[in-house]
Amino acid sequence: MNVLQKLVSTGVKTLPRNGLVRHSSHFVYQPDAKAPVEGPTQKMNMFQAINQAMDIALEQNESALVFGEDVAFGGVFRCSMGLQKKYGKQRVFNTPLCEQGIAGFAIGVANTGAKAIAEMQFADYIFPAFDQIVNEAAKYRYRSGNLYDCGSLTFRAPCGAVGHGACYHSQSPEAYFAHTPGLKVVVPRGPNKAKGLLLACVKDNDPCIVFEPKTLYRAAVEEVPVAAFESPIGKADILRSGTDITLVGWGTQIHVLQEVANMAKTQLDVSCEVIDLVSILPWDKETICNSVKKTGRVLIAHEAPLTNGFGAELAATIQEECFLHLESPVLRVTGWDTPFPHVFEPFYIPDKHRCLAGIRKLINY
């Protein structure tokens, strides 16, 4: 088989001028084995599943609004495509380029009882809205003595590595918000989770943030139920059972860990249990700790920097709850404590080679 035939067989349509192929993705997408609910399904990528979830929310709730920068024509990732045409300019509309304004407006809308779905164009841009989200939305129920709340408020934010995003379009800021009582934070791994989590957030009584790994918008394709369904917030998913080591991640990283589990079995004869945390706040302590007590070893991987990344909270809890069951220290494989780089992204992300080296270290401890 020549180079061109090999490229065609692997799905590459065109041959670059220099004859070389650049593989941007650091992961191989692993679709869910089965749909989350029974009934008719449709093949969708992740942005299409998110679009359908917002369509359902707008159809089911006459008060629901979708707004953000450029959402009227579909948004930079096309997640809201066609919604303004279907529901009108009063319900799907653009906002000024002002994240704190978007968040403040969203809080006011939600406080009236309407369903507010606000898009932050990139998770990197959410920081100007940090005060509104952390000091207003998250505390509204508490400081009003439960008279008022910001339930029915959902922020969507594309996050994570994408191959060329550099320091302003690649960050994973989930840990900042996980330190805030009153918020709920989730990260989908693919179309089914994206649709189910978004619909669950829209109905939740607390303000929610959905961090959507942007590299999965088109790379992730699954059979998704056409009907409305919700994925539980606060519940982790065991994607692969194992006996020797627990691998924990979320978002794109879960696909890296599934590939690493295969490599560990083939190269090291190590049986890995792979868990998608799914929900950062609240997180599923019971599922994680039960797995670690069974395997005795755990590796936590995330794209965000090491220091004070959310993996640190998992590691601290595992040490407290599972200490006598551990055969080796808790290991974190993460991004480095530097700004997210551009051309050096491949050296920054916790890819399969770094994770496999971590497994080897834990097994040989």
Q: Is 44 helix (H, G, I), strand (E, B) or coil?
A: strand
Say how far apart CA 217 and CA 251 lie, in whole Å: 12
Q: Which of 169, 212, 230, 259 is catalytic?
A: 169
Say how far apart CA 271 and CA 81 lie, in whole Å: 43
| Residues sharing a CB contact under 8 Å with residue 94, sequence separation 6 or more, in sequence order | 67, 68, 69, 70, 71, 72
Say how far apart CA 111 and CA 143 lie, in whole Å: 13
Q: Which of 69, 99, 259, 273 is catalytic?
A: 99
> How many of the other CB atoms lie within 10 Å of CB of 82?
13
> How many of the other CB atoms lie within 10 Å of CB of 188?
27
Say how far apart CA 107 and CA 110 lie, in whole Å: 5
259 is catalytic: no
Q: Does residue 36 have a cis bond before it (omega within 30 degrees)?
A: no
The residue to which tokens 């918020």 are assigned? 183
99 is catalytic: yes
Question: Active-site residues: which are they?
Answer: 99, 169
